[in-house]
Amino acid sequence: MEIFKHKPIYLDHQATTPVDERVLAAMVPFFTEYFGNPASNHFYGWTAMAAIDQARLQVATAIGAQPEEIIFTSGATEANNLAIKGVAEASLQRGRHIITVKTEHSAVLAPCGYLEKLGFSVTYLPVDDRGLVAIADLAAAIRPDTILVSVMAANNEIGVIQPLAEIGEICRQHQVPFHTDAVQAIGYVPINVDDCGVDLLSLTAHKLYGPKGIGALYVRSGQALAAQQLGGGEEKRAGTLATMLIVGLGEAITLGMTMRDQESLRLRTLRDALWQHLQELPDVQLNGDLQQRLPHNLNVSFAGVQTSGLLRELQPLVSLSSGAACASGRPSHVLATLGRSKAEANLRFGLGRGTTQVEIDRVAEATIKAVRLLRS
Ligand SMILES: *Cc1c(COP(=O)(O)O)cnc(C)c1O
């Protein structure tokens, strides 16, 4: 790519992250040396399956689950689809009502919309002005025919962390399965499926310095789930297991857990400094609660400026976006739910392992300069 002389600063870690060198090193032997089909009953199969067993344990340990409760998927989009469609299909005798939230990722909203077309009814809970679900709203929405509650752990646009344990408690009381899309929270917020009363949990490697194309769905043992991908083998999701990707997921999640507390503290300090700096501008507003929030996310609205113009000004210096990568160019349903108007520019600053204080200072200065220029 010869577009820029220097690579811009990367502040889009909620969209994806680079693969950690240690993760890559763990993956490499499984491309060429230990290439066997993990389902094969000979040396090459056994060595591949042993590595997969190890990764399964790593993923399970990170969320307080048992290894046999982990299903590997192609990522969180598939994990969310499997959870929602799989529970719906397996619970037809119980009912056809699902509860989720207006600010969920499209990988939750789209399968819910699909089920609505098939005759299911879906309640989309609102959020308050901080982006949080009210427990009373959830309790009031549960009906005798409710078969699933799906609430994300942390929002990919505004970073707010939902009260999982309280939601899980309500679901337990009403004996409704609880699914959470925990993609953005894993590695930043401690999540234990038992403590949070979670029955199904989606995660993906590429938001946590692992490879793209691999994720997992945790399914509590005893939870009914209809397979959505049929074929051979004993896995609940058919298809040859991608040994190298699974090894990468396992390594990434273990590393993420090891680094979590220290890295979260470092990122929070940088993020807070960025927010402090940006407030030199008048008419800026933070989207989402500042306390109940991922340490590496800042989402800010700048009045009187267009998002496209602001991004264009900043493009040579920094790569970031205004919201979800899969909705680039479209207005954000999350910010619309929060009542943000189109007469404002929104920027999502997604910090990561490589982010430094120097970068943060440069981005803050450039943003202030660009907003002043566009406002004048
Ligand atoms: C990125 C993301 C997904 C999609 O994950 P993929 O592995 O890319 O399919 C789902 N939910 C949230 C909250 C995300 O941030």
Please give the Cα distance from 182 to 162 (Å, whole number).
10
For residue 73 and ligand 1, the question of a CB distance below 6 A is answered with: no
The single residue listed with the structure tokens 């692992």 is: 210
For residue 17 and ligand 1, the question of a CB distance below 6 A is answered with: no
pLDDT digits (tens, 9 = 90+) for 36-90: 999 999 999 999 999 999 999 999 999 999 999 999 999 999 999 999 999 999 9
Q: Catalytic site residues? A: 326
pLDDT digits (tens, 9 = 90+) for 31-51: 999 999 999 999 999 999 999
For residue 177, how far is its CA from the centre of ligand 1 (angstroms)? 21
**In the predicted structure, residue 269 carries a pLDDT above the cut 70:** yes
| Best probe residue, ligand 1, of 72, 101, 157, 207 (max atoms within 8 Å of C-beta) | 207
Q: What is the model's pLDDT at position 323?
A: 78
Map residue 337 onto helix, strand or coil. helix
Map residue 67 onto helix, strand or coil. helix
* Structural domains in the chain, sorted by start: 9-18+260-375 (3.90.1150.10), 21-256 (3.40.640.10)
pLDDT digits (tens, 9 = 90+) for 315-345: 999 999 987 776 666 778 999 898 887 778 9
For residue 210 and ligand 1, the question of a CB distance below 6 A is answered with: no
Q: What is the model's pLDDT at position 56?
A: 98
| Sheet containing 284-286, strands listed edge to edge, beginning at the edge strand earlier in sequence | 284-286, 297-303, 344-350
pLDDT class for 259, splitting at 50, 70, 90?
very high
Please give the Cα distance from 233 to 324 (Å, whole number).
35
**In the predicted structure, residue 3 carries a pLDDT above the cut 70:** no
Helix (H) or strand (E) holding 82: helix 76-90
pLDDT class for 233, splitting at 50, 70, 90?
confident
Mean pLDDT of the chain: 95
Map residue 77 onto helix, strand or coil. helix
pLDDT class for 257, splitting at 50, 70, 90?
very high
- Sequence-separated (6 or more) residues with CB below 8 Å from residue 59: 65, 70, 203, 216, 218, 249, 250, 253
For residue 233, how far is its CA from the centre of ligand 1 (angstroms)? 27
pLDDT class for 236, splitting at 50, 70, 90?
confident
Total-model pTM: 0.96
CB distance 132 to 289 below 8 Å: yes
